[in-house]
Amino acid sequence: MSIASNSPSADPIHVAVLGIGMMGLPMGRRLCEAGLTVSVWNRSRSKAERLQPFGARVADKPGEAVAHADIVVCLLQDGHAVGDVLFEQGAAAAMRPGTLVIDMSSILPSQAREHAARLGAMGIQHLDAPVSGGTVGAEQGTLAIMVGGKPADLARAQPVFEIFGRATHVGPHGAGQLAKLANQMIVGITIGAVAEALLLCEKGGADMAKVRQAITGGFADSRILQVHGQRMVERDFTKRGAIDVQLKDMRNALTTAREIGFEAPITGLFETLYAQASGHGLGDLDHSALFVELASRNGMS
């Protein structure tokens, strides 16, 4: 499948991807397999080189990756990294006027609004479009994409979004990041609820796997119970979404809550729990490993 750009020559859209990590790798691969022209950059070049067999061109600097791109996708660690790559390492300065930046990183809404304003002053369009669905969703093209920005820019980005999953416009610049924070609040809190409930059952003598099976289909059922609950049953905490990333998102939610004068006591409690888990050496495990922190508190292996 080849997706044409809006240029008269109808060449495939040229997409630059900045950040080839756990999400950038499968998403970059999907862009290549869709027939787009893809250039990639990563701070560690070896990670970007994994996309060479699929046809991606690897750049040594961010500016080289974006110089001829129609659309630039950012998949970076946090808002500081996004700002550094765009404005300190020269990516934005190397873009042509009219380039569309789609920031799919998870950052603060206030940072997304600032980046949009700075890019806009340079004649560059911007969408904040964080995702949910993890590496499995990235590989399968089933991500939920939460988009903040102008509807016209969303329409322009739609051919790329369709490769990744399902995009929903939720409001102006920064609104995509607000939706992502809501997602991460629900995910992080629900992981804790599932872990605590299953551990209570095990401590009391019930079969944890059977309890999970028994409540499937009831009001307590959820994707978290099914996916993360199964990881807890199997004690499989291989990183898909890390404790440290979940902690970053909870802290971003609390920072945003303070900025807008909103009290979020439940998120505050779970920020503390994830911080303690990270402090006990669990930060690089899957976020379902909050189970391990709660088990330890109760003297359970």
What confidence tens digit (pLDDT) does each residue in 151-209 have? 999 999 999 999 999 999 999 999 999 999 999 999 999 999 999 999 999 999 999 99
Q: Which of 47, 61, 150, 180 is catalytic?
A: 180
With 90 as the cut, is the pLDDT of residue 3 above it? Answer: no
DSSP-assigned letter for residue 91? H
Tell me the pLDDT of the chain averaged across its residues.
95
Quickly state the pLDDT bin for 134 (edges 50, 70, 90).
confident
If we measure between CA atoms, which residue out of 94, 120, 116, 95 comes closest to residue 107? Answer: 116
> Rounded mean pLDDT of 234-261?
94
Query: Comparing 2 with 98, which gets the higher pLDDT?
Result: 98
Which amino acid is residue 255, in one-letter code?
A: T
Cβ within 8 Å of residue 273, ≥6 positions away: 192, 290, 293, 294
* pLDDT tens for each residue of 4-38: 454 444 578 999 999 999 999 999 999 999 999 99
Provide the pLDDT for residue 10: 59
- Per the structure block, which two tokens stand in for 247? 């902690």
Provide the pLDDT for residue 240: 86
* pLDDT tens for each residue of 249-274: 999 999 999 999 999 999 999 999 99
To the nearest 10 degrees (0 to 180), the angle between helices 290-297 and 175-203 is 40
Structural domains of the chain, ranges and CATH numbers in brackets: 14-171 (3.40.50.720), 178-297 (1.10.1040.10)
Provide the pLDDT for residue 241: 84
Q: Which residues pair with 145 in a beta bridge?
A: 131, 167
pTM, two decimals, is 0.89
| Block residue for tokens 């929903």 | 168
Cα separation, 55 vs 37, whole angstroms: 8
Give yes or no: 180 in active site. yes
Percent of the chain's residues with pLDDT above 90 = 94
